[in-house]
Chain A
């Protein structure tokens, strides 16, 4: 195999990509995914729990308290961000309808230590996000009242859970979302894009009938294939590295960037070679893309079902809690790449031979 020929083909394909500017679309896509998922996360949190964000909404919410007197009244009065008014139920509900209150609580006269449960009725507004905010704020107060009632009925309980005192966590709101989901996802996207790309590059030669022209040059079919693979692969570490850099600029520090890029590149080499094999077999984009994408879902799910898969390793590497074991996985993936590469070379030779003879 002539290395210069491989490089030549790779350069040609890369030039084609930049000329069409479609690679811009791919980058845009990744930015979109990152922005959208982050927005969704930040948004959901602020929506359900405004105090989670630093610029918290500190306004008080008015709550009407109706029905029987209970320790809950005192608990509600002591809670932050709530202002409680003992009222008559009918008046309170009308005030709620006029949005002069955010919620109304009705407490029945059930004895606290009785056989029956205490059934509160909580009135909130339909289709209003203030209701979600109220739910979050009331959850804590009601939880404390539940514990108080449970204490009163403790002699009827058979088991008590092991005690554990937990200090409230400070910060780290999005830690697992960012490192456990976003980082592996962003690093994986370039790999999937590269695999889709190799299928297009190979099937296009067949379907546009440019293969004859290509084989008429001194470049062999095998060299051309490896050139295409190289063109797809070279983009992966560039994109993955750019992502990690961008995250760093955003204040999200990723612990082991070099190792992560290595894992991403190795994993995408597996996908690209699989894509190449599928397209060599089908020679037609529709079938190749279909078989490959379905196969990709199978491979990804299979990988995720195994502990210590590359995606998990990327997550662990990014928080800095991966041991040295990840090198063994990397070596395993690299061996798989070599095997697939050998298969592809063999396959390409037989295809080229058939092509020349037939």
Chain B
């Protein structure tokens, strides 16, 4: 049998014998309970914001409408007595006129009432026999592909001149189009079915912000359905897919950690098998399990199997991160905190971009957007797949490489502080005999992480109003790059006394700059072409225009940090990093304003 399979078998047996006998029945019982409780919640709804507002209503029929919303505590009284006790309620409705208390709560109650009333009106009109009398206006939304593709439009800003008094005249050749037909071409019953379906989908999100709405995007929409729908159901399903994966990777994390308790892993390390193969063997059962769970979920949900292709890079990424966390944590507490932290950050990275699935191409930074697309029936192209998964594959690969490289007695059983451990982990990737070559390689390998961190910053800051989003992105992107470049150098300087000299620093910095730039260029052309079209891309990748200027910039950044560390010791690392970031930001600003390049 191949050694990888032997180890995989051993791992399976070990985990099976270590478990208490009642774990499996308990797990099955809990799973059944979970199904039951989910059903219960679906039945009775989430009671999180019940009874936030009080409302006084004089009309019994209207009170019945409001009473369906558990956020309101409804009091019924006649008009005059309500008018007298006006101040006791957040909201009062007398004679069809609503009045909110002049407090934030009163105004929020007014907003909630407006949502409810809209829903009620829609339900009345939706039941009209003559649908086109109740809904006389339908909008057919067509999307046009722009010919101009570079400017600030990605951020919702107007390009060029403000609209003038006269109608604009196009510069290009006007292509004659026939006017769309006046008829709607769909039966009223079909439209009604869509309306009803739309009304029944969950509007819980609309409570928190009334600009978002859930629902399906039909061909025709009423004016009320005009804003792009949030793929709410698909987004909930994302969690259904991610949680089991997260749990299973926890098992792997713990299996790695267990090898380190009482130096149990010594026997494994003593086998004449390469560490990479040992790790492959140990990870194989978990990989298979995660794929199996995902497949079962997909089949149960009746979803397209393409989703598995989108989940695979996520599974590999989770496993590789679990490997490193399991190898570095010093205690169970640390394991818990680091893994909770990691899973929160990873889940936000995976989850939040998919909120924009129907709005902006930026959503594709997360493979989960592919899942949303697959569930919605939006076709997925090969470039889409490459674009949203390549980073995950690469990062998983690099993490696994780092794990295999450090899977040795010295690293596994060390108890030094986390920062030292990270330094050691990077340090053991650097060769003593070829320090420059390994620095070059290391900085190229760090590129996927840099891009991932920058994408994270992009999804985070993308949401803010315009000048802030760009500014924060500018600083954040520069900082991430400088940090990544300085890591290898710092590890090298800390590793050996003889590396701590100016004669080493300059060629080392040059190697890092070259490796970084080469890696950036390669990956950028392979994947991120879509983002670079928008102004955010311009901010992230300004240091990529041309060849010599960015090389000098990278060199300068590394030299600053290295110089600080050489001159002032380890304490000077952070100030050096701040200064390097500052220089980088200034350079990017200069490029953006057109001073350079």
Interface string of B31-66 (1 = CB under 8 A from A): 101100110110111111111111000010110010
B contact residues around A145 at 8 Å (CB): 137, 223
A contact residues around B182 at 8 Å (CB): 108-110, 116, 119
**CB within 8 Å of B: which A177-220 residues:** 177, 179-181, 184, 193, 196-197, 199-201, 203-204, 207-209
Interface string of B109-149 (1 = CB under 8 A from A): 01111100100110011011110111111111111111110
| A17 contacts B by Cβ under 8 Å | yes
A contact residues around B113 at 8 Å (CB): 166
B348 touches A36 (CB 8 A): yes
B144 touches A124 (CB 8 A): yes
| A311 contacts B by Cβ under 8 Å | yes
B18 touches A284 (CB 8 A): yes
Please pick, from B137, B330, B336, the residue contacting A120 in the complex, using a CB distance under 8 A.
B137
Q: Which residue of B lies closest to A286 (CB)?
A: B254
**CB within 8 Å of A: which B48-97 residues:** 48-54, 59, 61-62, 65, 70-71, 73, 90, 93, 96-97
Q: Apart from A95-B169, A204-B332, A321-B90, what 4 extra A-B contacts exist at CB < 8 Å?
A: A98-B170, A123-B143, A167-B110, A302-B37
| A60 contacts B by Cβ under 8 Å | yes
Complex formed: what's the CA distance from A131 to B135 in Å? 24
Least CB distance from B243 to A in Å reads: 8
A91 touches B105 (CB 8 A): no
A contact residues around B173 at 8 Å (CB): 94
A contact residues around B154 at 8 Å (CB): 128-129
Q: A167-B98, A179-B52 are in contact. Are A162 and B156 (CB under 8 A)?
A: no
| A26 contacts B by Cβ under 8 Å | yes
B228 touches A200 (CB 8 A): no
Least CB distance from B364 to A in Å reads: 11
Closest 8 pairs (CB-CB, A-B) = A43-B463, A129-B156, A108-B182, A85-B167, A175-B108, A200-B332, A142-B223, A62-B163
Specify which of B128, B143, B159 lies most central, judged by the most chain A CB atoms within 10 Å of its CB.
B143
B contact residues around A116 at 8 Å (CB): 132, 182-184
A contact residues around B464 at 8 Å (CB): 39, 42-43, 46
Interface string of A274-286 (1 = CB under 8 A from B): 0000000110111
A contact residues around B71 at 8 Å (CB): 176
The stretch from B339-347, B387-395, B568-576 touching chain A is B339-347
Q: Which residue of B lies closest to A118 (CB)?
A: B137
B158 touches A102 (CB 8 A): yes
Least CB distance from B48 to A in Å reads: 6
| A312 contacts B by Cβ under 8 Å | yes
Please pick, from B111, B142, B462, the residue contacting A123 in the complex, using a CB distance under 8 A.
B142
Least CB distance from B452 to A in Å reads: 16
Query: Could you name 29 residue pairs across A and B whose Cβ atoms are closer than 8 Å?
Result: A41-B209, A44-B211, A46-B463, A46-B465, A48-B212, A85-B163, A96-B144, A101-B168, A102-B158, A119-B139, A119-B182, A123-B142, A126-B144, A127-B360, A127-B361, A135-B227, A159-B124, A165-B96, A169-B107, A172-B107, A173-B209, A193-B340, A197-B336, A204-B331, A281-B20, A285-B254, A291-B26, A302-B40, A320-B105
Interface string of B195-232 (1 = CB under 8 A from A): 00000000000011101100000001011101110000
Total inter-chain residue pairs, C-beta < 8 Å: 454
B104 touches A172 (CB 8 A): yes
A129 touches B155 (CB 8 A): yes
| A158 contacts B by Cβ under 8 Å | yes
A contact residues around B112 at 8 Å (CB): 176
Least CB distance from A78 to B in Å reads: 16
Complex formed: what's the CA distance from A170 to B107 in Å? 6
Complex formed: what's the CA distance from A3 to B385 in Å? 61
Least CB distance from B13 to A in Å reads: 15
B46 touches A181 (CB 8 A): no
A contact residues around B176 at 8 Å (CB): 90
B332 touches A44 (CB 8 A): no
Interface string of A293-304 (1 = CB under 8 A from B): 111011001101
B156 touches A128 (CB 8 A): yes
Interface string of B267-289 (1 = CB under 8 A from A): 00000000000000000000000
Q: Which residue of B lies closest to A295 (CB)?
A: B30
Specify which of A16, A52, A126 lies most central, judged by the most chain B CB atoms within 10 Å of its CB.
A126
The stretch from A149-157, A238-246, A260-268, A331-339 touching chain B is A149-157
B contact residues around A74 at 8 Å (CB): none
| A358 contacts B by Cβ under 8 Å | no
Specify which of B90, B130, B142, B262 lies most central, judged by the most chain A CB atoms within 10 Å of its CB.
B142
B contact residues around A22 at 8 Å (CB): 333-334, 337-338
Complex formed: what's the CA distance from A109 to B181 in Å? 10
Q: A29-B340, A117-B135 are in contact. Are A130 and B158 (CB under 8 A)?
A: yes
B contact residues around A125 at 8 Å (CB): 143-146, 153
Q: A50-B156, A119-B182 are in contact. Are A20 and B105 (CB under 8 A)?
A: no
A47 touches B44 (CB 8 A): no
A146 touches B52 (CB 8 A): no
Q: A117-B184, A162-B65 are in contact. Are A132 and B359 (CB under 8 A)?
A: yes
Interface residue range, chain A: 35 or more
Least CB distance from B363 to A in Å reads: 10
B128 touches A157 (CB 8 A): yes
B contact residues around A42 at 8 Å (CB): 463-464
Q: Which residue of A lies closest to B163 (CB)?
A: A62
B contact residues around A143 at 8 Å (CB): 223-224
**CB within 8 Å of B: which A30-52 residues:** 32-33, 36, 39-50, 52
B19 touches A287 (CB 8 A): yes
A307 touches B41 (CB 8 A): no
A61 touches B158 (CB 8 A): yes
A136 touches B211 (CB 8 A): yes
Determine the main DSSP class of B at the interface with A: mixed
Complex formed: what's the CA distance from A48 to B206 in Å? 13
A contact residues around B61 at 8 Å (CB): 162
Q: Which residue of A lies closest to B105 (CB)?
A: A319
| A89 contacts B by Cβ under 8 Å | yes
A contact residues around B251 at 8 Å (CB): 286, 290
A301 touches B41 (CB 8 A): yes
Specify which of B41, B47, B93 lies most central, judged by the most chain A CB atoms within 10 Å of its CB.
B47
B153 touches A128 (CB 8 A): yes
| A59 contacts B by Cβ under 8 Å | yes
Complex formed: what's the CA distance from A179 to B71 in Å? 12
Least CB distance from A106 to B in Å reads: 6
Please pick, from B19, B49, B174, the residue contacting A315 in the complex, using a CB distance under 8 A.
B49
A45 touches B209 (CB 8 A): yes
Least CB distance from A327 to B in Å reads: 16
A180 touches B48 (CB 8 A): yes
Complex formed: what's the CA distance from A79 to B104 in Å? 28
Q: Which residue of A lies closest to B332 (CB)?
A: A200
| A305 contacts B by Cβ under 8 Å | yes
Complex formed: what's the CA distance from A14 to B380 in Å? 51
Specify which of B53, B113, B130, B134 lies most central, judged by the most chain A CB atoms within 10 Å of its CB.
B134
| B381 contacts A by Cβ under 8 Å | no
B contact residues around A86 at 8 Å (CB): 167
Q: Which residue of B lies closest to A293 (CB)?
A: B247
Q: A164-B93, A172-B111 are in contact. Are A287 and B23 (CB under 8 A)?
A: yes
B contact residues around A100 at 8 Å (CB): 160, 168, 170
Least CB distance from A253 to B in Å reads: 9
B140 touches A119 (CB 8 A): yes
| A222 contacts B by Cβ under 8 Å | no
A122 touches B142 (CB 8 A): yes
Least CB distance from A60 to B in Å reads: 5
A97 touches B145 (CB 8 A): yes
| A121 contacts B by Cβ under 8 Å | yes
B contact residues around A122 at 8 Å (CB): 139-142
B156 touches A133 (CB 8 A): yes
